[in-house]
Amino acid sequence: MTAPTGEHVKIREVGPRDGFQNEPEVIATDDKVRLVEMLARTGLRRLEVTSFVRPDVIPQLADAAEVLRRARIPEEVAVTVPIPNERGLDNALALRDRFQEVNLFLSASETHNRKNVNRSIEESLNGLERVIGRALAEGLRAEGVISVSFGCPYEGHVPAERVFAIAERLAAAGCEEVAFGDTTGMANPAQVRAFFDAARERLPGVELTAHFHNTRGQGLANVLAALESGVRSFESSFGELGGCPVPRGATGNIASEDLVSMLHEMGYSSGIDLEALVECAREVQRVLGRALSGHVVVAGPVDWHEGG
């Protein structure tokens, strides 16, 4: 792989939503707001803050409106809000001035989509196409998110052709960006390389984003494979928080601080202050009262230990 010369890589931090939603104990709203504000001042330019989902399904996000209203986020940070359906969009639009992007999500397997949102893939697409149209009319940027793009814990292999067909529907509806989620950590680097090589051919003009989980320890290896295929946009979660509400055992996203550390060591730029990001991960450990599984939060960035 040719060494980059400061080439920029985009990172969307998803911890305050994707990370927090998997926590069994409800995190205080004050702590959520404080952590969001800390993250927003690390140099991150994309930040997923919360989601307007049913509070009886994900109680952790019941305070979505309050968090979005209270958090003081610099103007240069694009705030993203995942939207599950038209009702979620209605709720979010009450705070339209507080965010700029929406994520519209569904799964690439029928079984996972049924378990996650209780709809078929076609039903989800039909609903999301309406949501995307309304979001664009409000001046919002739309990102499609396709879960279990690299394998489903219920159905096993997910054909790439099916994933690309869904992505093409989302792009045709107006999504400028499509994220492909390795939701339960089933991807491997060879698969990722071939997948994104094909995706670039199938989806010209669409920003391709990779969303990897570290369930089986291959998260950063998959990032490297995606980089080699030309991907320059990733999603990650500070402290390696997160997972998937279904099924059990779907552990966290790749850690943002580990991702940024690797990118910087390889010569890529992200615009993110790694030391500030590590402090965010350490602070969320204090809030949760337990150690997290990210590596750099323990070892520190490489340059902290020169001569040690």
Distances (CA, A) of 305 to 1, 266, 273, 296, 297: 27, 17, 17, 12, 13
Which residues participate in catalysis according to the annotation?
Answer: 244
The whole-angstrom separation of Cα 51 and Cα 68 is 9
Sign of the CA dihedral with 115 first, then 116, 118, and 124 last: negative
Specify whether the CB–CB gap between 138 and 96 falls below 8 A.
yes
User: Which stretches of 71-155 are assigned E, i.e. beta strand?
Assistant: 78-83, 101-107, 141-147
Contact 109, 158 (CB under 8 A): yes
Which of 87, 75, 90, 6 lies closest to 45, judged by CA?
75
The residues pairing with 29 across neighbouring beta strands, listed in sequence order, are none
Cα–Cα distance measured from residue 204 to residue 227, given in angstroms and rounded to the nearest whole number: 17
3-state secondary structure of 117: helix
